[in-house]
Amino acid sequence: MNTILLGAQWGDEGKGKVVDHLSETADLVVRFQGGNNAGHSLWVGGKKTVLHLIPSGILHPHTICIIGDGVVLDPSVFIREITELQAANVFKVASERIKLSERTHLILPLHSALDVAREKKASGTKGHIGTTGRGIGPAYETKAQRKGVRVADLFLSRPQLLDKIETLFSGFQFAFAPLELAEIKEKTLKDIDYWKKIFAPMVIDTTTYLHAATKAGKKILFEGAQGVMLDMDHGTYPYVTSSSTVGPSAGIGGGYPAAIKGARTLGIAKAYITRVGSGPVVTEMLGKHVPGEVELGESIRKVGQEFGATTGRPRRIGWQDLVALKYAVQVAGIDELAIMKGDVLCGMGDFRVCVQYKKPDGSPWDHFPPCVEDLEVAIPVYESVKGWTEATPENADYEAYLKKIEKFVGVPVCYVGFGPERHQMAVRK
Ligand code: IMP
């Protein structure tokens, strides 16, 4: 059976570790959305590997890792990651392990420059999204404008490619001074031949490739990035990323929708919640609702090393939000959950879970609020759970917490992660 793996919260749930675990029994690992805004930290034998673009299945030598059609790819980050993995002896010949869809859109220096400039301009205002500054939003924007440059375009004739680049740049004359725009264009053109040389042996048509792999009985693991609550349609809009992070997106962004028929969808969540960037978080430990929560949040950040793998920003910390998790399970089509990082809370005392949002007039929300204006004033209703000293299914207190999650959200917790190392994970069901 194929598996779709998703973040069930606001990203940074520990997806990389679960992908690494499931890759043991997968033949192909496919990224289907997002770009190098993701950051997966993997610990194997005391050694840390951080991946932003290349699927986390790469550390298992038998897997083929695919960058799908729905990803936006920054060529220089991609090449840097390949070089680092080669230096770490993960593989010698990249094209034997990594394939790249010819339809993947490129993040060019123009996109990253736009992302950074816009966020700088919006700093201190409601328009500040707190993006990772990696050009993700602008790349998806130019894709939707039908002005994007794709991997396959690099292999067109030079005049044809230049025409596409001109079209892309023509929409952004207003955004930069002429000299600056010329510099950005020069930077792009300078590297194209180098990118082509590296990409050429890796480029595939994902539909043909995955169709053949499926016929040959290969097992596919689809690796999601970010999380359901950052989904462009269903997340806490507008404080979201620019791609679709829910289950069905794996079919579209992976290039072979037939592969997700009958697949199981596994959502990854932490025992608590975090988010980076702007936007309301109902259960954030800000000292508004529970005495001592600010200090607890600081301890969790420290013990859980809750700093962005991509930007290094401190993550915002909150109590487990079962209202958001249940919504994520339903909207993303999640069949099973993995709960990660329960070990971080060991010995920190009793813990709270949010089981309802109330409106300022005291009436309950009967569904997940669509507007951030509503989330900003929503009042969390908490229940207390007994703290635990060990975050494994053998610990009765932790097990009671996992059962509470299952009962509330309506799907089983099948995996439990209790430490950063590869072996610190248990199959529960
Ligand atoms: P963008 O994806 O860089 O455009 O950022 C949009 C929002 O998504 C911001 O709040 C980011 O902090 C958040 N975001 C993007 N990627 C990740 C991720 O991998 N983990 C957590 N948050 C992310």
Protein residue with least CA distance to atom 20, ligand 1: 11
Q: What are 357's two structure tokens?
A: 């949002």
pLDDT tens for 372-393 read 999 999 999 999 999 999 999 9
pLDDT at 47: 86
**Of 20, 21, 40, 343, which residue is the catalytic one?**
40
Q: How far is the CA of 403 from the centre of ligand 1 (A)?
A: 30
pLDDT in tens, 396-420: 999 999 999 999 999 999 999 999 8
Residue 243 near ligand 1, beta carbon < 6 Å: no
What pLDDT, on a 0 to 100 scale, did the predictor assign at position 419?
Answer: 93
Spatial distance between the Cα atoms of 306 and 308, rounded to a whole number of angstroms: 7
Query: Is the Cβ atom of 51 under 6 angstroms away from ligand 1?
Result: no
Question: What are the backbone dihedrals phi and psi of residue 30, each rounded to the nearest 5 degrees, phi first?
Answer: -120, 120
What are the chain's domains?
Answer: 3-102+202-266 (3.40.440.10), 105-199 (1.10.300.10), 269-410 (3.90.170.10)
- What span, in angstroms and rounded, lies between the C-alpha atoms of 144 and 136? 13
Q: Is the CB of 85 under 6 A from ligand 1?
A: no
Atom 17 (ligand 1) nearest CA: 226
- Cβ of residue 281 lying under 6 Å from some atom of ligand 1: no
* C-beta of 112 in contact with ligand 1 (< 6 A): no
User: What is the distance in A from the centroid of ligand 1 to the CA of 428?
Assistant: 30
Q: Tell me the mean pLDDT per 10 residues along the chain, length 429.
A: 98 93 96 94 85 94 97 97 94 97 97 94 92 96 97 97 94 86 91 96 98 98 98 98 98 97 98 96 95 97 93 95 98 98 96 98 98 97 97 95 98 96 90
Residue nearest (by alpha carbon) to ligand 1 atom 21: 11
Yes or no: say if 19 and 223 are a contact pair by the CB < 8 Å rule: yes
Is 136 touching ligand 1 by the criterion CB < 6 Å? yes
Nearest ligand 1 atom to the CA of 225 is 19
* Closest atom of ligand 1 relative to the 230 alpha carbon: 8
Which residue lies with its CA nearest to atom 10 of ligand 1? 277
Between the CA of 254 and the centroid of ligand 1 the distance, in Å, is 20
- 387 CA → ligand 1 middle, Å: 30
Q: Which of 31, 226, 268 to mutate to test the pocket of ligand 1 (most atoms within 8 A of CB)?
A: 226
**C-alpha of residue 396 to centroid of ligand 1, in Å:** 35
Which class for 108: exposed (0-12), middle (13-18), buried (19 or more C-beta within 10 A)? buried
Distance 371 CA to ligand 1 centre (A): 19
What's the gap in Å between 33 CA and the centre of ligand 1?
12
Choose the catalytic residue: 12, 20, 153, 343. Answer: 12
Candidate of 19, 52, 131 to mutate for ligand 1, largest count of ligand atoms within 8 Å of Cβ: 131
Q: Is 234 a catalytic residue?
A: no
Mutation choice for ligand 1 from 243, 244, 276, 317, CB with most ligand atoms inside 8 A: 276
**Would you say the CB of residue 226 lies under 6 angstroms from ligand 1?**
yes
Catalytic annotation present for 12:
yes
Query: Rounded to whole angstroms, how far apart are CA atoms 254 and 211?
Result: 11
Ligand 1 pocket residue status of 74, Cβ below 6 Å: no
What is the Å distance from ligand 1's center to 286 Cα? 21
Burial of 78 (0-12, 13-18, 19+ CB in 10 A): buried
Query: In angstroms, what is the span from residue 233 Cα to ligand 1's centroid?
Result: 15
Alpha carbons 59 and 55: distance in angstroms, whole number: 9
Q: What is the pLDDT of residue 44?
A: 83
Residue nearest to atom 1 of ligand 1 (CA): 131
Q: Whose CA is nearest to atom 16 of ligand 1?
A: 37
